[in-house]
């Protein structure tokens, strides 16, 4: 007679060291070998948002210095930092999706679980293009103001 198993699903919080543990070829089977692709995708999707946040904060600090110094060159640096932060956010979202798809190839979802992305995933998908737009605006503003600044300097000399 066949045994029936009740699948219990619950949210579990991981410690920082558990976040960086190796992922195995067969999830749950420690003798199956390490799946390097899933391991590093998981680590990247965990670390890249912090890198993006650091770049954004550093860009804000440089932008503040640009306002204080009334210089245009830090504005270009702020735009480049926003561009790098957007790439980190986009990379993090991509690593998450690829890791989840690789996991779903190995494990099937239980019947009572829906495999949908949540609101935080949608927020991350929206934030990357917004960071790219902020980057474009900073670089455009620095480029436009540099032309006007050069024209003002020419009028002063004349």
pTM summary value: 0.76
User: What pLDDT does 84 receive?
Assistant: 96
Task: Please indicate, yes or no, if residue 92 is contained in any of the structural domains.
Answer: yes
pLDDT along the chain (158 residues), means of 10: 56 77 74 82 91 93 81 83 95 92 81 80 93 91 67 44
Structural domains counted in the chain: 1
pLDDT confidence of residue 77: 87
pLDDT of residue 57: 93
Q: What domain range is 102 assigned to? A: 36-107+120-152
Looking at the domain assignment, is residue 49 inside a domain?
yes
CATH of the domain at 91: 1.20.140.150
Task: Please report whether residue 22 resides in a domain.
Answer: no
The three state secondary structure string of the chain is CCCCCCCCCCCCCCCHHHHCCCCECCCCCCCCCECHHHHHHHHHHHHHHHHHHHHHHHHHHHHHHHHHHCCCHHHHHHHHHHHHHHHHHHHHHHHHHHHHHHHHHHCCCCCCCCCCCCHHHHHHHHHHHHHHHHHHHHHHHHHHHHHHHHHHHHHHHC
């Amino acid at each position: 007679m066949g045994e029936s198993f009740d699948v219990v699903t619950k949210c579990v919080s991981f410690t920082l060291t558990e976040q960086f543990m190796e992922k195995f070829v067969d999830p749950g089977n420690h003798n199956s070998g390490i799946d390097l692709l899933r391991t590093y995708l998981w680590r990247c999707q965990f670390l890249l948002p912090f890198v993006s946040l650091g770049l954004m904060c550093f860009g804000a600090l440089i932008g503040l210095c640009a306002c204080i110094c009334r210089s245009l060159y830090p504005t270009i640096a702020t735009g480049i930092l926003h561009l790098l932060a957007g790439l980190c956010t986009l990379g993090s979202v991509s690593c998450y999706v690829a890791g989840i798809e690789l996991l779903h190839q190995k494990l099937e979802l239980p019947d009572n679980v829906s495999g949908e992305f949540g609101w935080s995933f949608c927020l991350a998908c929206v934030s990357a293009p917004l960071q790219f737009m902020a980057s474009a605006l900073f670089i455009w503003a620095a480029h436009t103001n540099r032309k006007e600044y050069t024209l003002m300097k020419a009028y002063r000399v004349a």
